[in-house]
């Protein structure tokens, strides 16, 4: 199987996996043959790429780290928590008034969210031995065209990424639950930032950015009101999720070891997720561009060791994507070589003259004999 941009799907292609919309509706079943209508339905739902069968990469199978049904269950729960909070916010504009704070307890202390997160943690089957980079399953983030859904999807994706990263770092389940909670609740205070600012199609003014920054303090207030709902580590993590190891973050300008390990995880996942999502003012970054940003920020924005772990989780060039290399040959990534940034194994389909290569040669770009080769383009068809 391999990826293809939905806009390039032609009738007769076969779905290699079930395709769901961002709210969990099944759009296409695995093994179903595409018609024009079917392809258009998927495009309208905001899904940008899907997996199709291709005999040249029949042996390449992409397994999801987290079952889609479980992801959508968590999505529904997170969405209702954030939506309810939005309703409370509209009723009581002043977060400091005592009577409204009591109302937060019920919203935030969501047993259902904790339950699903526990199941997700059990589900994630990451082989945590960093020496044998062998964990074969992929994290597939949920995407949507609907900008109004972004907050919920962002929180869902950051939660999934953070749990998986905690798993790679060999955290036990009790600790993973705290990481998951912190990730799930990290942006609760965003509901207090005016929508016009969040959805602004352009650069924020200093004043508007100042308003966005208050979401950290607002989240803390909401969680303080929901006394007992979260552990003190979760509170600390949420307070620090915009701190940078170089001291340039907010609200406190903390540095290096002053920042909680969970916050270092969430900070990377938060930025990576935000870059790979479509925003009102820009298109989504491809994984390799987002990874490049995260790598460039190592030691300055993010903790170097945590960035290293992240590259074991999210490859720059995921398995199944079509690429062109600097020789002009085109092919499909069959092994991302996780942890070795941007040097995957590629099976070539077409030579530099555009003709099909019947013997499908493979280049492991991490090997010295292929060191002069590099990926120059991601292909969508």
If phi over 0 gives left and psi between -120 and 50 gives alpha, with beta otherwise, what is residue 69? alpha
Residue closer to Fe ion by CB (options 73, 187) is 187
The Cβ of residue 225 has, within 10 Å, a number of other Cβ atoms equal to 18
- Report, in Å, the least distance between residue 237 CB and Fe ion: 11
Q: By CB under 5 A, how many residues form the interface with Fe ion?
A: 1
Footprint of Fe ion on 84-143 (CB under 5 A)? none
Determine if 243 is a binding residue for Fe ion (CB under 5 A).
no
The Cβ of residue 227 has, within 10 Å, a number of other Cβ atoms equal to 13
Which token pair is 54? 């291709």
The residues that bridge with 15 in the sheet, in sequence order, are 52
d(CA 91, CA 100): 9
- Report, in Å, the least distance between residue 190 CB and Fe ion: 7
- Report, in Å, the least distance between residue 274 CB and Fe ion: 9
Footprint of Fe ion on 207-226 (CB under 5 A)? none
Residue closer to Fe ion by CB (options 245, 332) is 245
Residue closer to Fe ion by CB (options 62, 158) is 158
Q: What distance lies between CA 9 and its chain's CA centroid?
A: 24
Three-state DSSP class for 239? helix
Residue closer to Fe ion by CB (options 187, 243) is 187
- Report, in Å, the least distance between residue 52 CB and Fe ion: 36
Please classify residue 266 by burial: count the beta carbons closer than 10 Å to its beta carbon, then call 0-12 exposed, 13-18 middle and 19+ buried: buried
Alpha helix (H) residue ranges in the chain: 36-45, 68-91, 98-108, 111-123, 150-168, 173-185, 195-198, 206-213, 215-225, 232-239, 261-276, 287-296, 304-313
- Report, in Å, the least distance between residue 78 CB and Fe ion: 14
Which token pair is 173? 């389940």
Residue closer to Fe ion by CB (options 213, 377) is 213
- Report, in Å, the least distance between residue 158 CB and Fe ion: 9
Residue closer to Fe ion by CB (options 213, 282) is 213
d(CA 289, CA 314): 12
Residue closer to Fe ion by CB (options 73, 243) is 243
CB proximity list for 159: less than 8 A, separation 6 or greater:
74, 78, 117, 180, 183, 184
Residue closer to Fe ion by CB (options 138, 187) is 187
- Report, in Å, the least distance between residue 251 CB and Fe ion: 11
DSSP state of 284: P
Which token pair is 204? 């924020």
Give whole-number Cα distances, 165 to 36, 48, 97, 178, 257, in Å. Answer: 39, 25, 38, 13, 19
d(CA 245, CA 267): 10
Residue nearest to Fe ion (CB): 187
Residue closer to Fe ion by CB (options 187, 303) is 187
- Report, in Å, the least distance between residue 187 CB and Fe ion: 5
Q: Which residue has the tokens 């460039």?
A: 296
Residue closer to Fe ion by CB (options 149, 187) is 187
d(CA 182, CA 245): 19
The residues that bridge with 377 in the sheet, in sequence order, are 324
- Report, in Å, the least distance between residue 151 CB and Fe ion: 10
Please name the helix (run of DSSP H) or strand (run of DSSP E) that holds residue 57, with its range, or none: none
Footprint of Fe ion on 139-198 (CB under 5 A)? 187
Binding residues vs Fe ion (CB under 5 A): 187
């Amino acid at each position: 199987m391999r990826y293809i941009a939905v806009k390039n799907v032609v009738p007769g292609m076969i779905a290699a996996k079930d395709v769901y919309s961002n709210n969990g509706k099944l759009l296409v079943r695995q093994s179903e043959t595409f018609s024009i209508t079917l392809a258009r339905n998927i495009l309208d739902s905001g899904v940008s790429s899907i997996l199709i069968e291709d005999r040249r990469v029949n042996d390449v199978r992409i397994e999801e780290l987290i079952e889609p049904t479980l992801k959508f269950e968590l999505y529904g729960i997170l969405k209702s928590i954030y939506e309810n909070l939005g309703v409370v916010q509209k009723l009581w504009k002043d977060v400091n008034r005592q009577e409204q704070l009591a109302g937060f307890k019920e919203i935030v202390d969501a047993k259902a969210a904790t339950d699903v997160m526990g199941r997700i943690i059990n589900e994630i089957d990451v082989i945590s031995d960093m020496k044998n980079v062998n964990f074969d399953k992929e994290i597939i983030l949920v995407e949507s065209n609907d900008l109004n859904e972004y907050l919920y999807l962002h929180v869902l994706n950051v939660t999934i990424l953070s749990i998986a990263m905690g798993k790679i770092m060999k955290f036990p389940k009790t600790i993973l639950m705290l990481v998951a909670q912190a990730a799930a609740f990290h942006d609760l205070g965003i509901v207090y930032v005016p929508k016009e600012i969040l959805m602004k199609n352009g650069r924020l003014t200093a004043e508007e950015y100042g308003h966005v920054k208050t979401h950290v303090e607002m989240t803390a207030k909401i969680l303080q009101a929901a006394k007992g709902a979260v552990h003190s580590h979760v509170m600390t993590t949420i307070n620090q999720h915009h701190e940078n190891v170089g001291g340039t973050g907010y609200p406190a300008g903390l540095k290096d070891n002053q920042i909680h390990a969970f916050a270092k995880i969430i900070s990377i996942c938060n930025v990576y997720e935000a870059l790979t999502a479509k925003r009102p003012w820009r298109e989504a970054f491809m994984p390799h561009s987002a990874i490049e940003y995260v790598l460039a920020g190592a030691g300055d924005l993010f903790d170097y060791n945590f960035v290293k772990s992240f590259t074991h989780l999210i490859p720059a060039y995921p398995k199944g994507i079509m690429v062109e290399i600097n020789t002009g040959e085109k092919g499909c990534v069959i092994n991302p070589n996780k942890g070795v940034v941007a040097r995957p194994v590629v099976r070539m389909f077409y030579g530099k003259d555009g003709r099909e290569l019947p013997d499908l040669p493979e280049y492991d770009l991490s090997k010295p004999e292929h060191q002069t080769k590099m990926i120059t383009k991601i292909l969508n068809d």
